[in-house]
Amino acid sequence: MSSVTKSCTLRVIVPKILSQRTMTTLGPLGKAEAKELVLNTGGLTTDDVVRYIREYAKLRDEIGQTVRQLGIQRDSEPATPEFSDLRSRYSDIESHASEVRGEYQKLQSKMDAIDRELQEIDRKMVAVDQLKATGFTDEELMSRASGFRRLLGRLPLKKVESARKALGASLKDTSVMTIGARKGDTQYILAAAPTDEAAQALQTLLLYDFVQIDIPSFDDADVEEAIRSLQSKKEERTRNRQALDSTIEDLRKSLSQPLNQSIDKIAETLLALRASLRLGEGTSTARIFARLDNPLGPVSLATLQKDGVLEQE
């Protein structure tokens, strides 16, 4: 076992006759408390003890993962090991942890969906802002005329006229290209071509270093209305997200103590089960819980491992 890290908790079970020596070792390193414990597993066989150690260790890890998933702070406390009805107790704790994970995952799925919506809204708002910078009218940009496809983008200034001529020649004057605002050494252009010839029009423009800009689809009458609609949706989704945040935080607060207590009870029960194998059934022991402010040196750690059993977090 690796050396104890700084600011950790330590659970130790040693024979009662060694309790004073153990407390003397741990005392200068932090705060330690000891309680007497007679190891009594209620007549469990060795095979039963080994099986419960394996099952409870797995359960401890699962609940620890749930605590981390919910963002709950781990706050270790001493607890009393419980050997009565280990099977039912295991099932109850496991069922509760499973319900907690399920509830959290549903809330997190809703949160993820809202985040995706907000990202899509932001993307559209950026696209609309970009449309405003092109210099074209709302009617030109948002026309719902059927049978035509619009191609919006930028061309290098020196290639605009050449591109216009090439477009007219390749599509035999079935296309229209209008000029918009200037941006640096490029010019915004808006071309319209029959739907079945739009791919050819695009290929022609690309020959002149055309940089296409997607025209997002909106149900709104104009660009300004689209911006207002998107802003309204963003505010609504943001309120929904804040409400979910509050719900998750309430869940986190309500589960912090019970989940921490479950881990503490499991840890103490695991330790006692291990001690029953190591020290023997019916042994009088001292159950020590310590909060260490400083690392435990390798010599002291080796002594504790030799004298009894320990768990650390």
Domain with CATH 3.30.70.2750 in the chain: 143-217
**Confidence at residue 181, expressed as pLDDT on a 0 to 100 scale:** 92
Chain segment 67-111, per-residue pLDDT in tens: 999 999 999 999 988 888 888 888 888 899 899 999 999 999 999
**Confidence at residue 118, expressed as pLDDT on a 0 to 100 scale:** 96
How far apart are alpha carbons 123 and 180 in whole angstroms?
22
**Confidence at residue 4, expressed as pLDDT on a 0 to 100 scale:** 40
Listed as ranges, residues in the chain with pLDDT below 70 are 1-6, 143-145, 218-221, 295
Chain segment 168-201, per-residue pLDDT in tens: 888 877 888 999 999 999 999 999 889 899 999 9
Q: What CATH topology corresponds to 143-217?
A: Alpha-Beta Plaits (3.30.70)
Strands 284-292 and 30-38: antiparallel
**Confidence at residue 89, expressed as pLDDT on a 0 to 100 scale:** 85
Nearest residue to 279 (alpha-carbon basis) of 30, 87, 15 = 15
**Confidence at residue 59, expressed as pLDDT on a 0 to 100 scale:** 93
How far apart are alpha carbons 296 and 275 in whole angstroms?
21
**Phi, psi of 188, rounded to the nearest 5 degrees:** -70, 135
Tokens at 180, concatenated = 């918009």
**Confidence at residue 297, expressed as pLDDT on a 0 to 100 scale:** 76
Q: What is the pTM of this model?
A: 0.71
Domain with CATH 3.30.70.260 in the chain: 1-38+284-306+309-313
**Confidence at residue 6, expressed as pLDDT on a 0 to 100 scale:** 57
Total length of the chain: 313
Find out if CATH 3.30.70.260 is the number for domain 1-38+284-306+309-313: yes
**Confidence at residue 114, expressed as pLDDT on a 0 to 100 scale:** 96
